[in-house]
Structure 1
Amino acid sequence: MILRLGLLLLIFPLGVQAADLTMPFPATITFTETRALGSHRIAIGPFDETLPSVTVEGTITRQIWQLTGAETTLQILAPLREQLRDDGWTQVFACSTRVCGGFDFRFEIDVTPAPQMFVDLADFSYLAVQKSDAWTTLLVSRSGDLGYVQATTVDPDGTVEPAKSTSNAASPPSTPPIAPPTTTSDVAQALVAEGHAVLSDLAFATGSSDLTQDSYSSLESLAAFLRDNPSTTIALVGHTDAVGSAAGNIAISRRRAESARTLLTGRYGIAPGRIETQGVGFYAPIARNDTEAGRRTNRRVEVVITSTD
């Protein structure tokens, strides 16, 4: 559930001292997660052949925001960095875009996939700070008029509680549970478990949005899932490899999502109002773009559950 807040506070109740981070611009929280035991890879230097890093285990808390009003990533990051410093956190490593190592750096670090988090490979900043045994990392980027902040805290002592907000955010309304899938398809299982899935049999050539087969098992499974869950709405998100310009790839990725939507509504009878489309170009790769196999993997459409209201 997306909470629209005029001013957001992120509180990490750590065994050391709570870190209060106030978003410097109007913001919307798009993702929140706490895992009682997990691991987080933290970059402590720029990518140069390999990524200098430490992997810390413990309670993981992550939140992601979309912000409006910022013209640069530094306008977002600088006040957050200052707040952490004032709260007793020590900076271990900070970098921006090329200094970080560009694509190679972004590919090595832990990033929540689109549409929750977007990373512009030409405009992002990273910060890693430490207090006692606890670590916090910030990843900041922009796309168009929107800014994005991913904040991840890992506490080896396991004393981190789920992040709380001190604003007057309304409690999320109750929603019907998602029905168990009637098929054993990977798509249905992933949607139930994770809320998103790759439609892996929708294959595209570089620069193309054409779908030419008569049927696709992933769309058939998605249609069955949507029929089983009539209150669920979805977004189809198109992706590209890194060949070509950013603007051209954004347009192609949107057309790929729309091609899948056309089949889902026309051939499989799903109501158009339940499906939105987005295109994010090459900004959310799941494989390297310097091999043909990686580029082929990155040319894809993903489905994301947007609501069950």
Structure 2
Amino acid sequence: MWRLWLCLLAGAAQAQDLSLPAGAERSFQTVRDPGAYDLPTGPWTVDGLPTTRVEGRIEVEAWRLPGSSQTPFQLVQPLRDTLEDSGFEILLDCAARACGGFDFRFATLVLPAPEMFVSLTDYHFVSARAPEGAVSILASRDRSRGYVQIIRAGSAPPSATKPAAPALPLAAPGDLGDVAKGLELAGHAVLRDVEFASGSTRLGDGAIPSLDAIATYLKSNPARRVLLVGHTDATGSLDANRKVSLARAQAAVAYLRAQGVPAEQLSAEGAGYMAPVASNLTPEGREANRRVEAVLLSTE
């Protein structure tokens, strides 16, 4: 049996054994130390997703279960019980619709495919917290396999003796060090100089410093892969905005390819208007929502 060893510093500060079913295959693992994670504490509402910020060591793992017939609930429940038995307070335990469906899934951290797959109508999510740290578990499935994502936040490994430094803020995206820092520490960076007019998918003429910085970063780190995610304001239908947001991400990918970045280091997705960073009620907010973000997929 494959086992996910999750170090929970609750109670006697001993490692707890969260066991996944036989045949589970780990598809992704990364650590940010220091880092930060917005832990969901309630379902999505019209006011957005309630979260609490957890800083410190952030570990993200994804697991696949080929041939599994277990439902997302069945995958999550034993892990949830282990957390509760270890003294963790369960903050949120919900299935897809109760969590908030599409809105919830795109408002929280989810690894993109192929590392993680989430059916918008069939997933289960649990978040839990103890004084020393927090854990979230997300499970879903497709026709042939199950998927589990586990995020551990705020707990240092048992051998650590030095306290975690505070999470470093992201600076303006024009400098290579700042963009690389965002990708390496936070796992993503908003590219605020990649701008689009409403409904447009065309990049402006001339150099774009943040994309130039990413090109330099990826060419210097050939083992890294980056996902470009396009976003829109809330003008128009969801289907149309998904297409526009994907085209915006693809425009950023095309720019990077023109800078000599290999295709295998790049991918593109579109989130439409489902992950705003500002109010869509003002021109300034809509402009801020028309953006592209870079997400670090792999460090191996």
TM-score by length of 1: 0.62
**What do residues 121-144 of structure 1 show as CA deviations (whole Å, max 9, x unaligned)?**
66554323456x445332415586
Does the CA contact (< 8 Å) of 2:4 and 2:20 recur in 1? yes
CA distance in 1, matches of 2:77, 2:150: 14
Does the CA contact (< 8 Å) of 2:103 and 2:274 recur in 1? no
1:150–1:284 Cα change, 3 Å:
farther
Q: Hey, what does 1:179 align to over in structure 2?
A: none
Q: Hey, what does 2:177 align to over in structure 1?
A: 189
Q: Hey, what does 1:259 align to over in structure 2?
A: 251
**Identity fraction in percent:** 25
Q: Hey, what does 1:169 align to over in structure 2?
A: none
Gaps of 5+ in 1: 1-5, 164-183
Q: Hey, what does 1:74 align to over in structure 2?
A: 73
Deviates more, 1:257-266 or 1:87-96: 87-96
CA distance in 2, matches of 1:253, 1:119: 19
1:76–1:186 Cα change, 3 Å:
farther
Q: Hey, what does 2:147 align to over in structure 1?
A: 147
Q: Which amino acid aligns with 1:198?
A: V
1:203–1:41 Cα change, 3 Å:
same
Does the CA contact (< 8 Å) of 2:246 and 2:270 recur in 1? yes
CA distance in 2, matches of 1:162, 1:206: 51
Kindly state the Cα deviation for residue 76 of structure 1 after the two structures are TM-superposed: 3.0
RMSD of aligned alpha carbons: 4.6
The within-5 A match list for 1:1-309 is 7-17=2-12, 18-24=15-21, 25-35=24-34, 43=41, 45-46=42-43, 60-69=57-66, 72-87=71-86, 89=88, 91-101=90-100, 111=109, 124-129=123-128, 133-134=131-132, 136-140=134-138, 142=140, 147-154=147-154, 160-161=157-158, 186-195=174-183, 196-205=188-197, 208-226=200-218, 229=220, 231=222, 233-241=224-232, 244-245=237-238, 251-266=243-258, 268=259, 270-273=260-263, 275-282=265-272, 285=275, 287-288=277-278, 290-291=280-281, 293-304=284-295
TM-score by length of 2: 0.64
CA distance in 1, matches of 2:65, 2:242: 20
Q: Hey, what does 2:163 align to over in structure 1?
A: none
Q: What SS is found at the alignment partner of 1:32?
A: strand
CA distance in 2, matches of 1:126, 1:10: 19
1:48–1:226 Cα change, 3 Å:
closer
Q: Number of aligned pairs?
A: 273
